[in-house]
Each structure stands twice: as structure tokens, then as C-alpha cells.
Amino acid sequence: MVASRSARERKAGVEAGPLARVVVDVDRTTAFVYKISCTTCTAKGDKAWSAYRLGGDNGYLAAMDRWTFHLVEKHPGTEAPCLTYLADAQQRLHERREG
Ligand SMILES: [Zn+2]
């Protein structure tokens, strides 16, 4: 059975750790869109920093990878389950850059 939107939201929220706020939306193609924002960082114009990329890949892995890099870069020393997969995230980033 496919996990519900709210169940996915809870699971991703646990993975992303205490600094993250996770919202899962369903887009027009009924794909799940992960929006992970930071509770302490603000981007341009007072908006919270977010891993969401308009028109980009916002599936679970892509969003969680961006969030993982944000934690490493801006919040060193923070503990979050997703950091367990940092090496995998770096490998995926490398593969995307290679094309
Ligand atoms: Zn942050």
C-alpha cells in the first residue's frame, strides 16, 4: 500500500531532524512533492530557507539530499537521521554533475 501524504510527511520529518519543517504536497501528476524548510535560516526576503526548487526535482531523495547538504554547511554538529546517508547524497550529487 502506498503511504499516505501525512505518513510520508511524518517519516521525512523524523529523517530530516529537529531543525526541519517538512510539508508534502501532491502535484498535478499526483507525484509527491517534498518541501523541507529550515526553522532557523532565512533566505531572501525573510522567507525560510527551503530545499524546494521550483520546476526542479522535488522528490524525496532530491529534497532530502539538498537538506542534508544544508545541515552540513550551515549547522555543523547538528544530529539528524538523514546525515547517516551523507555519503550516498554526495555520490548522487556527483552522478548528477557527471550527467
Ligand atoms: Zn538552516
Over residues 19-40, the pLDDT tens digits come to 999 999 998 888 899 999 999 9
1: CA distance to ligand 1 center in Å?
34
9: CA distance to ligand 1 center in Å?
19
pLDDT of residue 2: 67
43: CA distance to ligand 1 center in Å?
9
51: CA distance to ligand 1 center in Å?
10
Residue 37 CB-density burial (10 A; 0-12 exposed, 13-18 middle, 19+ buried): buried
Model confidence at 7, pLDDT cuts 50, 70, 90, reads very high
Model confidence at 3, pLDDT cuts 50, 70, 90, reads confident
pLDDT of residue 96: 86
Residue range of the domain that includes 90: 5-98
Distance, CA of 33 to chain centre? 10
61: CA distance to ligand 1 center in Å?
18
Count of domains observed in the chain: 1
pTM above 0.95, yes or no: no
Model confidence at 62, pLDDT cuts 50, 70, 90, reads very high
